[in-house]
Chain A
Amino acid sequence: DARVTQTPRDKVTEMGQEVTMRCQPILGHNTVFWYRQTMMQGLELLAYFRNRAPLDDSGMPKDRFSAEMPDATLATLKIQPSEPRDSAVYFCASGRDDNEQFFGPGTRLTVL
């Protein structure tokens, strides 16, 4: 049963610290998405990649967030420095060109 995996599942950190979230997409999927979920804003698209190339990161605060795909089996989302307003659940999803996206379980980030 192929699934998207995300690590860590929970992260508590202090303001100013670097946070790295990792995602392993489903094997064979060529598109990876990062979403953020908060009570106030709901689910928002942060960035996505196709064939490891960044396509759109307009939803991401550029000064502190960065997203990369070092290889086809790993996507990372980094926040440096983290701030309390970054507290949210971060979801990774993967898919192919048919637009059906499969979501991981999420990383719950708490910045104190």
Chain B
Amino acid sequence: DTAVSQTPKYLVTQMGNDKSIKCEQNLGHDTMYWYKQDSKKFLKIMFSYNNKELIINETVPNRFSPKSPDKAHLNLHINSLELGDSAVYFCASSQELGTASFTEAFFGQGTRLTVV
């Protein structure tokens, strides 16, 4: 069973389009995240949700809108895609980051987004 799964794995789209990336975790975790990895492999937090509530929004453009319909899902919708949005986007989940019960974050396989 895949612990954190995200779809699609690859996404090629034109500038100006709107696209979504879906993420699901079957670990029963309370906290989910979106990270962006650039071409130099640098990982930057975008959003963090705890129990479906937005906890962190790290100065991400308004074109990026996360949505958590339930604790097991955190989807990422991107409007008006730009060339600079090309990157690998990782979803992750953990149990109560920032508390004594945190052990590790589990990552999905990533979605490679290419905007042309």
A complexed with B: no
Q: Please report B residues at the A interface, Cβ cutoff 8 Å.
A: none
Q: Please report A residues at the B interface, Cβ cutoff 8 Å.
A: none
